[in-house]
Structure 1
């Protein structure tokens, strides 16, 4: 019983500090700041605003309902983190899913860690913590990295130290932002993996990027299939000069041949005899490449 009384007394002490407008704590230099900063306090949900620097921009309604159900049964196990803006006003640093789920339940308060920081520090805290702890999609992570570099003025080397990732890993994420916006949306919606995105980024022409993207979705190509397709497209991208075989066919067949070659990501050959009979030859470089071509053919059937 004594232990419970002590806990309640501590809560009253913190509440008194936070609700005293004459001695409002605004910085780490203020009196009693050390008693508040880093402490877990039940804050009114109405006193907390969403952090505009939050990298996650979409939240699944189903997963929020699942979290709300868990909170209803067990409470908020992990406190959210907020920074103090002014008297009785706070801003989320991390924990927006817990915040949203608690509001969904109609709760009045939520356990919170309190931090005092300027906007630059808050941005860095929010982005770094979310990159490390949240289940962000590859584009959200890439956007977070880019924002850290732009707004905090970090180099890739400095960013690597802050988030504990290799520079090459960061560079791979940042390159995803060069993809066509439609493809980026596909990655955010889970239709493509980061591996697919890394393969597509090697295609500089966005129109061709989108063509391959559609082919990935239609034929359910794996990352390895996509890598092979892109590699073959790059190896056979110089189609400005027709081959000797192409010169033997009429213009309509020649155009079709180029389209077929583009589809298979390989230099398809067309051989036609005097009677008009012929055959298409689709080359492959390995068993994996053969399986890739097979999937493309089956997807068309």
Structure 2
């Protein structure tokens, strides 16, 4: 208990150091930087801004309330990580759930590890730490890997080294981003699993992808059943058979009663045609100027 109080007091003492404008720490070379960087310090919650690089976008409200209850009873056990961006101003690198829950409880301060990092380093740290520490959904993880490649200019091999995962694992996650957005949302919301998504990705046609997706949900198909369905679809394509899940035709049949009703209304033989793309036209013949005026009068009425 004494050690815990001493550590807490030390954190508060360092907090006062960060609020000294005459000794503002801007880089790792500045005086007292070694006392701040990498240490746990109690920071004012109002001095911390949310990291725009945060990969997590969904926060389960029930889970957040449970964490808030834990923090109310036990305090923040695991410090958040921030980077110093200005005098007494910090940007969150990781720990947004803990920060949000602390605000729900009404805490004024929160324990934090201090880092001094540029934007690229901050992005890398945020993505890597969040991937490793939190229950991001598969699509959020895939987006995080993709951002490391696009914004930090890393290869899949380098991403693999940074996050400690096999390159094949990185590739499997990134391939999920080739799924139709509707299916990606389904994975994020938990309607289907990553295993389902990995099976569907083998179908290039996005329309067929979504039809398979809806079939999985309606019939509660397992991953193995989904793999069999995709395999059957691919075999049907090879043998030039009509796939089990064909595209829906856009054309349609015009009921004879429609043509009859139009004809009776106009007093003429009306022709209704529909093309393959679902568009069509209605032809109403007339035999003289008087006949045309008659039709126009009918429309005016």
Where on the TM-score scale, by shorter chain, does this alignment land: which range?
Answer: 0.7 to 0.9
Q: Secondary structure at the match of 2:140?
A: helix
Cα 1:238–1:22 shift into 2, 3 Å: same
Partner of residue 52, structure 1? 52
Q: Which 4+ residue blocks in structure 1 deviate beyond 6 angstroms?
A: none
1:139-288 to 2 correspondence within 5 Å? 139-238=139-238, 240=240, 258=242, 262-263=244-245
In structure 2, list runs of 5 or more residues that go unmatched: 247-301
Higher mean Cα deviation, 14-23 or 120-129? Answer: 14-23
Which structure's CA Rg is the greater one?
2
Partner of residue 66, structure 1? 66
User: C-alpha displacement at 1:13, in angstroms?
Assistant: 3.3
User: C-alpha displacement at 1:106, in angstroms?
Assistant: 1.3
The normalised TM-score by structure 1 is 0.78
Partner of residue 80, structure 1? 80
Cα pair 2:176 2:201 within 8 Å, conserved: yes
**For the residues of structure 1 that align with 2:126 and 2:52, how far apart are their CA atoms?**
10
Residue correspondences, number: 246
The normalised TM-score by structure 2 is 0.78
Cα 1:12–1:197 shift into 2, 3 Å: closer
Cα 1:6–1:262 shift into 2, 3 Å: closer
Cα 1:5–1:263 shift into 2, 3 Å: closer
User: C-alpha displacement at 1:15, in angstroms?
Assistant: 2.5
Partner of residue 26, structure 1? 26
**For the residues of structure 1 that align with 2:175 and 2:151, how far apart are their CA atoms?**
18
**For the residues of structure 1 that align with 2:52 and 2:62, how far apart are their CA atoms?**
23
Cα pair 2:12 2:41 within 8 Å, conserved: no
Partner of residue 106, structure 1? 106
Q: Secondary structure at the match of 1:236?
A: helix
Cα pair 2:71 2:102 within 8 Å, conserved: yes
User: C-alpha displacement at 1:143, in angstroms?
Assistant: 0.1
**For the residues of structure 2 that align with 1:126 and 1:15, how far apart are their CA atoms?**
23
Cα 1:47–1:145 shift into 2, 3 Å: same
Q: Secondary structure at the match of 2:244?
A: helix
User: C-alpha displacement at 1:7, in angstroms?
Assistant: 4.5
**For the residues of structure 2 that align with 1:207 and 1:38, how far apart are their CA atoms?**
51
* Residues 54-73 of structure 1: per-residue CA shift (max 9 Å, x gap): 10001011110010011111
Q: Secondary structure at the match of 1:100?
A: helix
**For the residues of structure 2 that align with 1:157 and 1:4, how far apart are their CA atoms?**
42
Cα 1:236–1:144 shift into 2, 3 Å: same
**For the residues of structure 1 that align with 2:33 and 2:77, how far apart are their CA atoms?**
25
Cα 1:204–1:11 shift into 2, 3 Å: closer
**For the residues of structure 2 that align with 1:112 and 1:239, how far apart are their CA atoms?**
62
**For the residues of structure 2 that align with 1:148 and 1:238, how far apart are their CA atoms?**
38
User: C-alpha displacement at 1:9, in angstroms?
Assistant: 5.4
**For the residues of structure 1 that align with 2:211 and 2:94, how far apart are their CA atoms?**
38
**For the residues of structure 2 that align with 1:88 and 1:7, how far apart are their CA atoms?**
21
**For the residues of structure 2 that align with 1:8 and 1:126, how far apart are their CA atoms?**
25
